[in-house]
Structure 1
Amino acid sequence: MPGTQPHSVSVAGVVLNDAGQVLMVKRHDNGHWEPPGGVLELEETFEQGVYREVLEETGIRVSVGPLTGVYKNMTRGIVALVFRCAVEAGQARISDEATEVAWLEPADALARMTPAYAVRVNDALPGSDIPHVRVHDGTHLVAS
């Protein structure tokens, strides 16, 4: 269809440690706190992309668990798939993409993020029915 723009697919991992804390990054490009993630590469499965993104941004190796939500940024045409992850190994460290990396209590993590990203973490916490399907404008959720 003429004028139709392609969508981008991204993946993210909501990584939980044994203490129930969430692994968060402060992104280098925009200064926002978010779960680690990024654009899925053409040759990757969803799980491979999550594993790679978390490792690249934080130094943490994870086991990728269930899909917890699908989110569409209506403004930018980005579809994000978010998975709950568990720590396998590694020490959290900063990277070219993350100026800060921190293990945060869920309430603290949620308070640091815009609503469009906080809902992704909240949806991935244990006890939540999954998966969720949501749309947003880049900052706030919008009605489907």
Structure 2
Amino acid sequence: MSSIGWAESYLGQLRALAGDRTLMFVGARAVVRDDAGRVLLIQRSDNGYWAMPAGAMELGESIAACATREVWEETGLRSTVVTPFALYTGPDRTFTNMYGDTYQLFVVAFRVDVWEGELLTVTDETTDAAFYRYDQFPTPLSSTVAETLADLAFFEETGQTVLK
């Protein structure tokens, strides 16, 4: 699995063509837990926030493959079984990033059921990574973490996919 830079990515190429228009961002977010039930968080190198592995889907890739690739790129772990549990869509999911680019998100959240490998704490996209108990999350924490974990708990209790 190889990592590509922003300029070569589908979204990077599309941004170069579209200028400052709002773009659709199709991507995946992954919840990785260890045997003790702790959640894997990565510290993003671009903004310093702690978040779950996540990113944009590339052309020629499925959304599940996107989740698997993002986990690998950001942590060095290989996800072998993933389960989708939530979809985040709609105009209320529009945001402008630190570079001034605006996106409307369509993100699928996945539970990583089986993974292998050794955790890398520093990658091209991360400055740290570790498993944390829910009551010991580091700061600054991405606003997506609490919502995603609540939606995963709902999914695990009911078996119903969360649609937002």
Q: Report which of the two structures shows the higher radius of gyration computed on alpha carbons.
A: 2
Would you say 1:100 and 2:117 are equivalent positions? no
1:9 aligns to what SS in structure 2? Answer: strand
1:86 aligned partner, one-letter code: D
* TM-score (normalizing by structure 2): 0.70
2:109 aligns to what SS in structure 1? Answer: strand
Q: Show the counterpart of 1:45.
A: 62
Would you say 1:83 and 2:113 are equivalent positions? no
Identity of aligned residues (%): 29
- Picking from 139, 149, 154, the partner of 1:121 is 149
Q: Show the counterpart of 1:132.
A: 162
Does the C-alpha gap of structure 1 residues 110 and 46 become closer, same or farther in structure 2, counting only changes over 3 Å?
farther
Q: Mark the runs of 5 or more structure 2 residues left unpaired by the alignment.
A: 1-20, 96-102
Higher strand share: 1
Matched residue count: 131
Q: Is the 8 A contact 1:110 1:122 kept in 2?
A: no
**Deviation for aligned residue 1:61:** 1.0
Aligned-partner Cα distance in 1 for 2:49–2:157:
24
Q: Is the 8 A contact 2:31 2:52 kept in 1?
A: yes
Instruction: Please list the CA deviations of residues 43-70 of structure 1 after superposition, one character each: whole Å capped at 9, or x if unmatched.
Output: 1111111111101100111133221211
* TM-score (normalizing by structure 1): 0.79
Aligned-partner Cα distance in 1 for 2:70–2:55:
6
Q: Mark the runs of 5 or more structure 1 residues left unpaired by the alignment.
A: 135-144
